[in-house]
């Protein structure tokens, strides 16, 4: 199946944007059912280095002044992530997390058969989740044992589940990654993949020589990426950054043709039909799910507004960069 035919829905974030009015927000994390406080929950801006943890009483404080255009994510072991999009409340927040409950069908499989199925499923999961690029080959999932699958042989959909965050060592780009997986589905017949969750980056401490190699690999991953495209669109540098945007009749579109602003100077990608994004000899397609797709100068965009096809759809966890990244 070619890149053009392969549809991948990758929802990095759940929720939409808003503006933060308070530099420091405070709150308490609780279980939605028992109302008990949740200690050591992670409170962070998805796709960044910025975050904190709740204390033993479930309480947290976080300065949001540098990331006010992005939603705030709250995750904890055994719970679905929650996204906070409105920071205007001056009172401390009470945030309730929903426990993860997976209903897996009972399938009787012999031990040897189960081991073989798990091995095959894990290979598919890593290819669709991490990707198949050179960077993916240098990624290791540290806690593979925490990932489980549905084993219904008659089911066309492979589903993966993880109560604990997936820990990834990206030795190609020099990042330690924590990924809170909310949903993973691979459709065997069509080859389409959908996964959603939330990601935290941490720099890998390395020698100076290794850091130079990381910088080279990161720049290569960045050029032509979704992050690069939205940053170029924000700064009106599509052409100078190597991007071409065309419509269904191959008209070349400029930033002003596909971008609008609101009265607060927020920017939105919009067009009455799908777009082709060209970079070097490769190509990608934007399929709009919303009329207006919010994005900001970091490269963050509303993932619920777009389906990707082509090369950009193939960029998985192994090739993702934190929003703090900048070419040195």
Residue position matching structure tokens 């990624």: 139
Confidence (pLDDT) at 109: 46
Question: What confidence tens digit (pLDDT) does each residue in 208-218 have?
Answer: 778 889 999 99
pLDDT exceeds 50 at position 36: yes
Q: Does domain 24-97 have CATH number 3.30.413.10?
A: no
Calculate the alpha carbon distances from 70 to 15, 94, 200, 302 in Å: 10, 19, 14, 9
The answer, as to whether pTM is greater than 0.85, is no
Residues near 36 by beta carbon (within 8 Å), at least 6 away in sequence:
30
Confidence (pLDDT) at 14: 38
Question: What confidence tens digit (pLDDT) does each residue in 269-316 have?
Answer: 999 999 999 998 779 999 999 999 999 999 999 988 999 999 898 889
Question: What confidence tens digit (pLDDT) does each residue in 158-167 have?
Answer: 999 998 999 9
Residues near 274 by beta carbon (within 8 Å), at least 6 away in sequence:
248, 285, 286, 287, 288
CB 109 within 8 A of CB 119: no
């Amino acid at each position: 199946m070619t890149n053009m035919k392969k549809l991948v829905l990758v929802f990095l974030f759940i929720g939409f944007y808003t503006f933060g009015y308070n530099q420091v927000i405070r709150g308490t994390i609780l279980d939605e059912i028992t109302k008990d406080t949740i200690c050591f929950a992670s409170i962070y801006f998805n796709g960044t280095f910025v975050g904190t943890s709740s204390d033993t009483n479930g309480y947290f404080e976080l300065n949001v002044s540098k990331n006010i255009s992005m939603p705030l994510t709250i995750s904890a072991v055994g719970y679905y992530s929650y996204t906070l999009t409105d920071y205007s409340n001056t009172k401390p927040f009470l945030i309730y997390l929903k426990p993860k409950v997976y209903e897996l069908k009972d399938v009787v499989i012999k031990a040897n058969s189960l081991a073989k199925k798990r091995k095959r499923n894990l290979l598919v999961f890593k290819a669709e989740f991490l990707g198949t690029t050179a960077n993916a080959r240098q990624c290791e999932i540290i806690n593979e044992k925490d990932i489980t699958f549905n084993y219904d042989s008659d089911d066309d959909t492979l589903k993966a589940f993880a109560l604990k965050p997936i820990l990834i060592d990206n030795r190609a780009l020099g990042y330690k990654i924590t990924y809170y997986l909310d949903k993973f589905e691979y459709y065997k017949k069509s080859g389409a993949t959908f996964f959603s969750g939330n990601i935290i980056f941490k720099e890998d401490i390395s020698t100076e020589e290794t850091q130079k190699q990381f910088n080279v690999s990161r720049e290569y991953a960045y050029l032509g990426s979704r992050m690069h495209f939205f940053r170029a669109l924000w700064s009106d540098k599509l052409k100078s950054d190597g991007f071409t945007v065309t419509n269904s009749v191959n008209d070349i579109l400029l930033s002003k043709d596909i971008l609008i602003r609101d009265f607060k100077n927020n920017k939105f990608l919009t067009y009455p039909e799908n777009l082709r994004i060209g970079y070097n000899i490769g190509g990608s397609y934007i399929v709009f799910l919303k009329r207006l797709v919010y994005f900001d100068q970091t490269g963050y965009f509303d993932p619920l507004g777009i389906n990707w096809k082509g090369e950009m759809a193939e960029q998985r966890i192994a090739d993702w960069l934190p929003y703090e990244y900048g070419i040195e």
